[in-house]
Structure 1
Amino acid sequence: MITADHSTEDKEAPLREDIRFLGRLLGDTLRQQEGNDAFDTVEHIRQLAIRFHRHDDLAARDQLEALLAALPNDHTTQVARAFSYFSHLANIAEDQHHLRRARAHALAGAKPREGSLEMAIARAQEAGIDAHGFSDFFAQAKVSPVLTAHPTEVQRKSILDCQWEIARLLDARDRNELTPDEMQEDEEAIRRAVLTLWQTRMLRRVKLSVADEIANALTFYDTTFLRELPQLYNRLEDHLALIVPHWTKDELKPFLHPGSWIGGDRDGNPFVTADVLLAAVRAQSRKALSHQLEQLHRLGAELSLTASLVDISDALKALVARSPDHSPHRDDEPYRRAIAGMYARLAATAQQLDELEAPRHPVGTAEPYANAAEFAADLDVLHGSLINHKSTLLARGRLRHLRRSIAIFGFHLAPLDLRQNSEVHARTVAELLAIACPGTDYLALDEAARIKLLLDELATPRPLTAPSVTYSTETQSELAIFHTAGQIHQRYGRASIENVIISKASSVSDMLEVAVLLKEAGLLRPLDHALDVNIVPLFETISDLENAAEVMDQLLSLPLYKQLLDSRGSWQEIMLGYSDSNKDGGFLTSGWALYRSEIALTAIFARHGVRLRLFHGRGGSVGRGGGPSYQAILAQPQGAVQGQIRITEQGEVIASKYANPELGHRNLEILAAATLEATLLPRVFDNPPPEFLAAMETLSASAFSAYRSLVYDTPGFEQYFWESTVIAEIASLNIGSRPASRKHSTAIEDLRAIPWVFSWAQCRLMLPGWFGFGTAVAKWKATRGEVGMQLLCRMNREWGFFRTLLSNMDMVLAKSDIAIAERYSELVSDEALRRAIFPRLKAERQAAIDALLEITQTNELLDSNPPLKRSIRNRFPYIDPLNHLQVELLRRFRAGTTDEKVQRGIHLSINGIAAGLRNSG
């Protein structure tokens, strides 16, 4: 399994060599484990797929179909595993190459790279930002990547561990000059890891649970967040002290930290209950405390300072006096004795909070810490004593890392968001009101009457609920969630749950309903005008985005709500839905509606004197708002990034960004750097003239019409979608913890956005990432001619938003394959329906490509991104066979084959295609 040679720059040679090397090891493993016939079959399939892809060879297509049709079910899983694992190995090689290039850049003493904090700070300094300006930014900054579960892609930890071992060994080969013996040992170790990978089950045998998703997400704290975030802060503080004149702050407050939805996101997921919520917070807390216990133990081993050689502070003497460590062996080692006492307290804390046994038995009993701040205060005592007694260098080691870690992660690890659909909140409040106030039909009221009733309820501390009343199952479940959130606050602190998100928010009453439910749980205190969590509307559809500013204007005009916001520092978070707005109105209109909504919201918030924090609900794919994070943040309208931003991260994107600690560090830094630049230098990146805005308005209207005409107005399109993609199998094969649809229907309106976009990616059509653009540009050109096209070219050169939009579409179109998509269309049982729809898709895709190339003034897709172009070219020979195999397996499964190997092959192919495309979900 060796990729073809491609002439390219010398700097890409190590990447090609790594891909060849890993492909050879996988091929050897396949031959050794499954035999020569299996190896030959895989190679034959690969060669035919290459001919079919590169030369549109109809004879190759016929041979490929015949070969796959004759393939026994037992062999289909071998083929699927072979190509899936190659995609994963190629990912490892590419990630390693990115790190290799970054090191080469640093070793050459080159200028800081775009997306680095060094570059962002330098740009800000050039624009006149001084120490005061930087201090203000970091004092109020908040940057949070929020991990969310993905119903179609969660790798087992065993697989991730194998992949990490291969990456580690490749990195060792790259960094160190190995002797021949060492090189042979390293290759054998990689072979061993590849063999382990081959012999490890890729898929879970049982339905994925929320607990599985929680456990999977926590692995990225081990690899990246707990390790790299403290280091990022330390480097940033050192750089600011070195480069910014008059910088006086020794330590920055935590502003960059991950969040999570996993275990708190109930929208469409009946398996997230109050018990699951508590289990999720407890699992996170265990991870944080386990890390801190281990680091504290290691710190004690390192700080062997003797009182006969160093002085200590009075505060440290007090810590030593309280320590239960009375060993004569440590009688003259004050730091170790103090740390032993701290370890005993931390161990007691872990036992009390989470029933977690410390990995090492403490030296004695001690009172648990009341909260993370108490533990941090003890660490500060160690720090202060070292600083004041000629041991600053020691304070900058593990202690600095641990102090930063507790400041970021506390005892709770990460804030867990709650999310539920507005319709559920409305039904819950309606039931409470109907029982508490007989004759009240809340759902029958108009919006004005609902608002009045809810405001009256919020003005009184009287609860609506009564312990003697039995409520419906749904209402009991919702109340239990909020009451459990209150208990979690008391146990783990308010940082453990900070946000309650309302899906499908469209009105002021949607917000006030949640306020009423929070009041029932004691999380909103009317007499104190205090709110303990953020109430966050999620505007998702095109119409909701268009109305968002009006809704928020009305809400912020309510004195009661404004008082509640004052208790939250006058910050209001708004979540914007990229996924559902795309499914509702198409790629171009979704992007434009989001941009316009941000402009309108920024103006409304400025008028009300309230600070805006935007939470971008982006997925991995472009159809769900994906694409490079740096460019996406800089492409926001002026004033939309006010030092604070939250962004969802999910699916295969989490693994690609955070499974490798160095890449994770780089991706976290990118988020911080982009937020700094977008806040302090907004006009550099987004300052469109009126003619740009008018052009986008026209293009959006045409694209929206084309998209809605196809997806919602074409008879039979729903059937075409369900039969020409893998959506039915995603829904039926127990892939993921939540249903594919919010309701028991096949309607596209009810379908969750993730499987909608993911299914189009699997069949390589990628429809949500481009459909409608070709028609829109064709209409524009027909009415405005070459002058109009010159304007679009200028927009691409001068407007970050438009350029990012086209760049993302460029990537999607390059990863699509119309010939493969046609093979999926043949799965549609109604031939007339297939002939009516597929030619439309094919023509629109070509129109999009033609329009894109003309506007960007390039000859081929991805001409402006050679590294990605090479990456895709290298990957197609291994992704394409999985698509062809998936088509064959879908035929068998839908024909009634009950063989479990066929179902497993479909799931394997789904996993492999997603891994190969890297941002498909």
Structure 2
Amino acid sequence: MIQDQRAEKFRQIVENKFQIYNSLFMSLPYDKMTNIGMLLPFLYEESKEGYLVGKTPVEIVEEFFVNHTDLVNEDQKLELLFKIIQYIERQVVLFDSIEDAAFPGLHSESDSGTITNLYERAYHDHKLEKVHEKLKDFTVKVVFTAHPTQFYPSSVQRILQDLRQAIGADSITNIDMLLQQLGKTPFVNKEKPTPIDEALSIIHYLRYVYYDSIGELYGKIKKTFGNSNSHLHENIIQLGFWPGGDRDGNPFVTAEVTKKVSEELRTAILKSYYANLKDVRRRLSFRGVSEVLTKLSAELYTAIFKNEKISSEDILKRLDEAEEILINEHNSLFLEILVDFKDRVKIFGTHFATLDIRQDSRIHQTVVDEIFDAIFGKKEADYTEKYNKLIEFNEKFNFDDYSEIVKETLGNISQIKEIQDFNGIRGMHRYIISNSDAVKDVMNVYTFFKICGYRDEDINMDIVPLFETMEGLENAENVMKELYLNPIYKKHLERRGNEQTIMLGFSDGTKDGGYLKANWEIYKAKEVLTKISEENEVKVVFFDGRGGPPARGGGKTHDFYASQGKTIANNKIELTIQGQTITSIFGNKEQAKYNFEQLLTAGVENDVFKNSKKDLSAKERALITELANISYKKYSDLKAHPMFVPYLQEMSTLEYYGKANIGSRPSKRGGDNELKFEDLRAIPFVGSWSQLKQNVPGFFGFGYAMQQLKEEGRFDEVKELYKGSDFFKTLVLNSMMSMNKSYFPLTYYIKENPKFGAFWEILFQEFNLSKDIMLELTGFTILQQEDPLSRKSVKIREKIVLPLLSIQQYALMKIQKGEGDIEAYKKLVTRSLFGNINASRNSA
């Protein structure tokens, strides 16, 4: 009933508004866009009708030219297609803004997963004390990454924010002006952004969204659950930051860049405090209090503009002084304003967000090998002997005359203490190691600190292995067992409070093992790592490397975390967010607060409200394992197909990701020209399937596995599993979300291709099989039936971009055939990436 009411509300405040404002948009006099608003519906109809009767994108686009234009030469046709792309890009921004503005009207304070709802449930179930107990040390950490899944330049993001406000206020005049600005603002970066550009783009969100949303949410939690017996931890909601610290595969992230970004983070939070303090001083104008706050304002100004050191303790000392005077001499008037400001200083410190460092284990090994050879000569030694000897060496190594990678790696380690002095320990305290699959990968990083002259007690860093491949996940148990017993590392862990963060990579896991297998292996890895950590009296924290779409660990995030049973440590929830997930899920104060709440309550609910559907029985585990292994074999066979990489290379947009100036990082690992599967980055890999509207990594093998059991007469077992396990149910619903955003008619033409026709048929058959069997399993008649708001949003977005998809496939077909101006068609493919990706923001 509530879902039906929301669906109707969505129709009123999203669909209807889009039709109204889109008609306004279509009549605006843009440079070079005259008449596009009138022509676009014709291209949409040609596409919609054409694909249903099996026409190719070339036939559809050429018939559009013949039936609705008088264009005859290729240059004119290309110019029109570029204009249409520009137009659709702006339609997507308009829809984003309308949907964002509608968010408060579609959600309420008492929705499932909100703080209010959690309180009501706990109160009725007599579990308030349990919630208070859990909130004492439970935290949520959201880590912003620079992974390029968002194509809006910062100038367009600002318009999007202003447009959202104007739509929320129904200000036609402002909307009209902003739509005109949008029409004249470039959507393309002329050059690739630098890592510092990426950092500044996200820092804008820190200052203008998260400073308030997290501050206000903390106040709400305190007001709802605070009492004399419970003290909320100020770290209950934390922010992490990768731009400028993530050097994995990004040669442009240098030690100098890391230092600069740490300074930008520090300056940004001090500027937020300075601005906030102005508001505080407007109310606290009383004798004594005013003087203290004026002094603090001057100290913040000096710290910002003269780069003088100020710690969060220094700021809090001043605020404590002001608070004492306010209580003793002024009847605590406006005390809540001062307390709110103090809370924010405790939350954000002088760092705003923790800047993590990340690098690939193979790079580290190269550095260790070079240093070992330099100190001990080129003699035979295994990995263990190398790191042990270097740790025992106990002298500061002068790395100035060595290779660039040695200088960069050790230069970065050397400056950590200085960054911590300015930003606080919380400002930088984690070193993440990609592609971890052995003990040496962790110990090599410890080695770096020792040869940079750090004493053991001065290494204020958590060393975080990232297990992300099938091999890495399989090795994780043995790696951590051995690490916990290593005397050097054991002492390091003791100094770090016996807390170990372990990162698990969903994106690369899915790319490597397929959707079901990857999720199940990560689940099992968390279980065994929880067990061995508890046996070694270590508090383990799992940090999930999740992307936006289900194929990269995204999807229904609250449902995912709420479905984890008691066999998995639930000390914190930590996850990465990136690109369009930042703007669509955490892009404004209302959405950010709501989604932070959803994460927080998911973790609390797991411990407080026991539910048999969260815990897997031996029978359920055996069945998921069986399904995962069958699906893995099916997916592995697909990966091993001789046409797998050529299909992506020749028929998809894979090679065009690197040409779009959206991220500072190269689009593939490895420097050679030959494309290998292992060098494919997860984002362009998953993104290319998405652009083809095939979304293979989100479902392939899952339906086949269920079909195998059905043929054995065991489908009732799968149905029982779906009904009885929240974890399995979440995987099914997320996979159905991937399929709902697929549209195989777009590429029907490939089945006639002599090289790739048979391969395309494999994909198409598995899609149909998966769709049919999942609908049978769930009892739904359509995909995403359980989530009408998301389904409606997807439907409108897919309608907006259908002409864009036709143009992209038209250009790809021209390139494949070698017809016409190939360079222009390549640019057309690259440009069409933008709107397609931005329109799929609700994949998370």
CA distance in 1, matches of 2:65, 2:670: 36
Any idea what SS the aligned residue of 2:238 has? coil
Q: Specify the SS of the correspondent of 2:573.
A: strand
Partners in 1 of 2:789 and 2:839 — Cα distance? 15
CA gap of 1:295–1:762, structure 2 versus 1, over 3 A, is same
CA contact under 8 A between 2:138 and 2:236: conserved in structure 1?
yes
Quick check: 1:431 aligned with 2:370? Answer: yes
Partner of 1:359: none
In structure 1, how many angstroms separate the alpha carbons of the residues matched to 2:65 and 2:379?
64
Give 2:426's aligned amino acid. Answer: A
One-letter amino acid of the counterpart of residue 216, structure 1 = S
1:624 aligns with 2:624: no
Q: Does 1:739 align with 2:666?
A: yes
Q: Deviations over 1:704-755 (max 9, x none)?
A: 11111111x2113211111111111112344421111110241111111111
Q: 1:692 aligns with which of 597, 613, 620?
A: 620
Output aligned runs, 1:546-585, within 5 Å. Answer: 546-585=474-513
For 2:729, the aligned partner's letter is: R
1:779 aligns with 2:711: no
What's the counterpart of residue 323 of structure 2?
Answer: 383
Instruction: Give, in angstroms, the shift of residue 129 of structure 1.
Output: 3.7
Q: Quote the offset at 1:517 in angstroms.
A: 0.7
Residue 71 of structure 2 is matched in structure 1 by: none
Local SS of the residue matching 1:688: coil
State the one-letter code of the partner of 1:808.
Answer: N
Give identity over the alignment, percent: 25
Task: Map residues 187-202 of structure 1 onto 2, 5 A cutoff.
Answer: 187-202=172-187
Match of 1:417 among 344, 356, 366: 356
Given that 2:6 and 2:106 are in contact with CA atoms closer than 8 Å, whether structure 1 keeps it comes out as no
Which is worse superposed, 553-562 or 226-235?
553-562
Are the counterparts in 1 of residues 166 and 175 from structure 2 also a CA contact under 8 Å?
Answer: yes
Cα–Cα, structure 1 residues 688 and 337, in superposed 2: closer, same or farther, change >3 Å? same
Query: How far off its partner does 1:882 sit?
Result: 0.9
What are structure 2's unaligned runs of at least 5 residues?
67-73
Task: Report if aligned partners of 2:26, 2:38 keep a CA contact under 8 Å in 1.
Answer: no
- 2:440 counterpart (490, 505, 509): 509
Among residues 637, 650, 655, which one is paired with 2:583 in the alignment? 655
Query: Structure 1: how far apart are the matches of 2:520 and 2:7?
Result: 37
Amino acid at match of 1:914: I
Structure 1 pair 671–521 and aligned structure 2 pair: CA distance change class (3 A):
farther
Q: How many residues align?
A: 829
Which one of the candidate residues 139, 143, 146 is aligned to 1:146?
Answer: 143
- Look up the match of 1:914: 837
Matched with 2:247 is: 266
Structure 2-normalised TM-score?
0.93
Cα 1:452–1:189 change in 2 (3 A) is same
Residue type matched to 1:378 in 2? R
Q: CA offset at residue 145 of structure 1?
A: 0.6
Rounded Cα–Cα distance in structure 2 between residues aligned with 1:195 and 1:121: 46
Q: Which of the residues 250, 253, 256 maps onto 2:237?
A: 256
The equivalent residue for 1:850 is: 772
Change (3 A) 1:59 1:553: closer
The structural deviation recorded for 1:892 is 5.1
- Does structure 1 conserve the Cα–Cα contact (< 8 Å) formed by 2:193 and 2:663? yes
Matched AA of 2:667: A
Deviation at 1:898? 6.9
Secondary structure of 1:616's counterpart equals strand
Task: Identify which of 486, 510, 524 aligns with 1:596.
Answer: 524
Q: Is the 8 A contact 1:145 1:258 kept in 2?
A: yes
Which residue pairs with 1:334 in the alignment?
A: 288
More displaced stretch, 559-568 vs 34-43: 34-43
Partner of 1:440: 379
Partner Cα separation in structure 2 for residue 385 and residue 642 of structure 1: 42
Specify whether residues 121 and 452 from structure 1 end up closer, same or farther in structure 2 by C-alpha distance, changes over 3 A only. farther
Distance in 1 between residues matched to 2:488 and 2:126, nearest whole Å: 40
> Within 2, Cα distance between the matches of 1:126 and 1:571?
34
Q: What are the superposed Cα offsets for residues 332-384 of structure 1, whole Å, 9 maximum, x if unpaired?
A: x332222221111112222343xxxxxxxxxxxxxx56412111121122223
How large is the RMSD of aligned CA atoms in angstroms? 2.5
The answer to whether structure 1 residue 881 and structure 2 residue 803 are counterparts is yes
**Equivalence for 1:357:** none
Assess if the C-alpha contact under 8 Å between 1:531 and 1:565 holds in 2: no
Q: Could you say if the C-alpha distance between residues 615 and 669 of structure 1 is closer, same or farther in structure 2, counting changes exceeding 3 Å? A: same
Q: 2:70 is matched with which residue?
A: none
Provide the C-alpha distance between the structure 1 equivalents of 2:316 and 2:567, rounded to a whole number of angstroms: 35
Report SS of the residue matched to 1:146. strand
Q: Distance in 2 between matches of 1:761 and 1:585?
A: 18
SS in 2 for 1:576: strand
Query: How far apart, in 2, do the equivalents of 1:634 and 1:887 lie?
Result: 40
CA distance in 1, matches of 2:610, 2:135: 17
Deviation at 1:218, TM superposition (A): 1.2
Which string of whole-angstrom CA distances, capped at 9 and with x for unpartnered residues, describes residues 752-801 of structure 1? 11111111111111111011112211211122x1xx21121121122111
Query: Which aligned pairs between 1:825-864 and structure 2 lie closer than 5 A?
Result: 831-864=753-786
Q: Would the aligned equivalents of 1:810 and 1:861 in 2 still touch at CA under 8 Å?
A: yes
CA distance in 2, matches of 1:888, 1:370: 58
Distance across 1 between alignment mates of 2:271 and 2:814: 48
Aligned partners of 2:317, 2:567: CA distance in 1, in Å?
Answer: 37
Query: Could you tell me whether the CA contact under 8 Å between 1:638 and 1:683 is conserved in 2?
Result: no
What amino acid is aligned across from residue 777 of structure 1 in structure 2? M
What is the alpha-carbon distance in structure 1 between the residues aligned to residue 103 and residue 546 of structure 2?
24
Q: Say yes or no: does 1:489 pair with 2:420.
A: yes
TM-superposed CA distance for 1:258, in Å, is 1.2
CA contact (8 A) 1:757 1:920 kept: no
Contact kept in structure 1, 2:57 and 2:806, CA below 8 Å: no
The 3-state SS of whatever aligns with 1:254 is helix
AA at the equivalent of 1:206: E
CA drift of 1:639 comes to: 4.2
Residue 318 (structure 1) aligns with: none
CA drift at 1:888: 2.4
C-alpha distance 413-247 of structure 1, shift in aligned 2 (>3 A): same
Distance 1:168 1:83 in 2: 21
- SS state of the match for residue 833, structure 1? coil
Contact 1:146–1:648 under 8 Å retained in 2: yes
Q: CA deviation at 1:297?
A: 2.6
What residue is the counterpart of 1:753 in the other structure? 682
CA contact (8 A) 1:635 1:801 kept: yes
Asked whether 1:170 is paired with 2:175, we answer no
Aligned to 2:497, the other structure's residue is in SS state coil
**3-state DSSP class of the match of 2:782?**
coil
Within 2, Cα distance between the matches of 1:900 and 1:384? 70
| CA apart distance, 1:633 | 1.0
Q: How far apart, in 2, do the equivalents of 1:603 and 1:219 lie?
A: 41
Does the Cα contact within 8 Å between 1:220 and 1:659 map onto a contact in 2? yes
Q: Which structure: larger Rg?
A: 1
> CA contact under 8 A between 1:724 and 1:825: conserved in structure 2?
no
The 1:557–1:304 alpha-carbon spacing in structure 2 relative to 1, beyond 3 Å, is same
User: CA 1:117 to 1:440, structure 2 compared with 1: closer, same or farther past 3 Å?
Assistant: farther
User: Aligned pair in 2 of structure 1 residues 899, 456: CA closer, same or farther (>3 Å)?
Assistant: closer
1:45 matched residue in structure 2: 43
Q: Distance in 2 between matches of 1:218 and 1:250?
A: 30
The equivalent of 1:706 in structure 2 is 634
Cα shift readout 1:885-913 (whole Å, capped 9, x = no counterpart): 11223345674877987565434421211
* SS of alignment partner, residue 257 of structure 1: strand
